[in-house]
Chain A
Amino acid sequence: MNVKKTALFELHKKHNAKFVEFAGYSMPIQYSEGIVKEHNITRNKSGIFDVSHMGQLFIKYSDDITDKLQEILPTDLKNLKINQSKYSFIMKENGGIYDDLIITRMKDQYMIILNAACKQNDLQIIKNKLNNQNLDMNNDLSLIAIQGPESKTILENVVLNVSKLKFMNGGNFSFKNNEIFITRSGYTGEDGFEISLPNKVAISFVEELILRGSTLIGLGARDTLRLEAGLCLYGHDINENTSPVEANLKWAISKNRINDNFTGSQKIKEQIEEGVSKLRVGIKPETRVIARESTKIFDEKDNEIGKITSGTFGPSVNASIAMGYISNSHSKTDTKVFLEVRGKKVPANVCDLPFYKKSYVKGEANV
C-alpha cells in the first residue's frame, strides 16, 4: 500500500521533520527541537499541528439526516445550534465505541472530524445508516490545529475576527480569497483553533502562522499534551469494547438522549443505572518510571485489577502519568495501586484528570 502524504509534507521536510507512518500516512513525529521542547512551546506559546490525515466528512443538513445520525450518535443534534460543535461517538451495538469525533453543525451541512485510522470504517457505517452511497470524505481539504496561549493573537493576525469565536464553536472565514472553516477546539488542553482549508493554500497558511511566531509540532508532543490534558486516544484509551460510561465520558452523552434509542443505548442505560465494573481513571506512579500501554495494575493484596491504556512522561507536570481501566471498587481518587513494570511493582495512585489544568477560553463550554 502506498503511504499517503498530506499537503504539508514538503513543509514538514523543510522543517527537518522525522516521519513515521501513522494510519497509512507519513506524518511528522517530531521536528529538530524534539518532543519535550515542542510540548513546552505549545504550552507556553503556540504550536501548529498538521492533522490533515483525519477524516473531514460533510453531510447535507436535513431533519431526516439529523434523525438518522442520532441513531448512531448519543448526542442531541436537534438542539445543536448553527456553528456549534459537540464531542460524540459512533456507537457499537455492545455499547462500545467505533470512533470518537467532533460534529459541527454548519449552515447547511454537518461537518464530522474522524480519526484517521477509523475514517474508512466510519464512512461505511454512516453511508449504510443514511442509505447514501454517494457520501464521501473531502480529500481536497487540509486540517490544521493551532494550540497554545499565543495562538489566538497569531491567528487573529492572519484571519481577522477569529478570536471572537467561543470554545466549541466555529465559523466561516476567508484566507487569500478561499473560504475556510475554523472551530475553537483542540486536543492539547490549551486554547486553540482547528482550521479546515483547501490543500492548495495549506502551506502558505502555515507559513503565515510560522512567520508570526508559531512553531510546527509533531505527533509525539501531541500525545504528551493530550495525555496531560486527560484526553482519550482512540484505539488505546477507548475502543470497540469500552463504552462511554466505562471511559468516564458519560458527559458526552446528551442528558435528553439517555432514555432514547440509539445503537448501544440499552447497554448505556443499564450501565448508568446499575454501574460499571471497570472505569477509566488517571494514574500517577510515585516514581519517574513510565507505565506504558498494557501495564498491569494490582491492588495492595496483589490482585490484578486493571490495565494501563496510555502512559508517558508529562513535561508540564514533570512526572510520569498514565490512564487506564481499573475495577470500579478501586477507582476512587488517591487509591493506592501497583503497576508491574519490567517485573517490579511500582507504587502509584489513582488521581483526578486532567493532570494539567486546562486554560480553555470560557464561553459556551457546554460540551
Chain B
Amino acid sequence: MSDTKFSKEHEWITLDGEVGTIGITKHATEMLGDIVFAELPEKGSNVEKDGTAGVVESTKAASDVYTPVSGEVVEINQSIVDDPSKINADPEGGAWFFKLKLKDKSELDTLMNKEEYDKFAKETSA
C-alpha cells in the first residue's frame, strides 16, 4: 500500500499502469458510521479531479464522494452498491468504489502519501 495516495476529501487511489483504483479511507468510514447506501459514477463517464463521483449515506447523513484525479470510469464495484456494509468492513481493500483510466498522471503529485494523510486525518478530526 506504500504507493497509495490520499486526498483531503478522504479518498485513496492506487495506480496499476494507466488505471487507478479509488475508494474511501478507513478514517472516512469511521467518521461516517454505518454506511447503508452507495451510489457510483456510470461506467464510461468522465470525471474531473475533485468533482463529485458518487455518494455514500450512513444512517445519519449523506456525503459526496469526490474523485482525487480526472479520468474515464472503466469499472465500478457493484458489490458495494448491493451491500454497502462492505464499505465499513473493508474500505481500503475489497470495497473499492471505481476504477479510472487516468487523464493526467501528474495529478497524483498533488495528493498525500500515507504518512501525510494519517497526520492530516488526525489533525482534522481532533
Contacts and interface: CB of A to CB of B under 8 A. Distances in A.
Contact of A34 (B34, B39, B62, B84): B34
A36 B84 CA distance: 12
A312 B37 contact: no
A-side binding surface: helix, strand, loop or mixed? mixed
A35 B37 contact: no
What's the interface size class on A, roughly? 10 to 19
Nearest to B37: A288
Contact of A289 (B39, B58, B60, B88): B39
Given A288-B84, A290-B62, A35 B57 contact: no
B37 A289 contact: yes
Contacts of A224: 59
A35 B60 contact: yes
Contacts of B55: 342
A185 interface: no
Contacts of B57: 289-290, 313
B62 A35 contact: no
What's the interface size class on B, roughly? 10 to 19
Given A288-B84, A292-B62, A313-B59, A34 B36 contact: no
Nearest to B85: A36
A36 B37 contact: no
B33 interface: yes
Interface of B: 33-34, 36-37, 39, 55, 57-60, 62, 84-85, 88
Interface of A: 29-30, 34-37, 220, 223-224, 288-290, 292, 312-313, 315, 320, 342
Given A35-B34, A220-B59, A290-B62, 4 more contacts: A30-B33, A220-B60, A224-B59, A315-B59
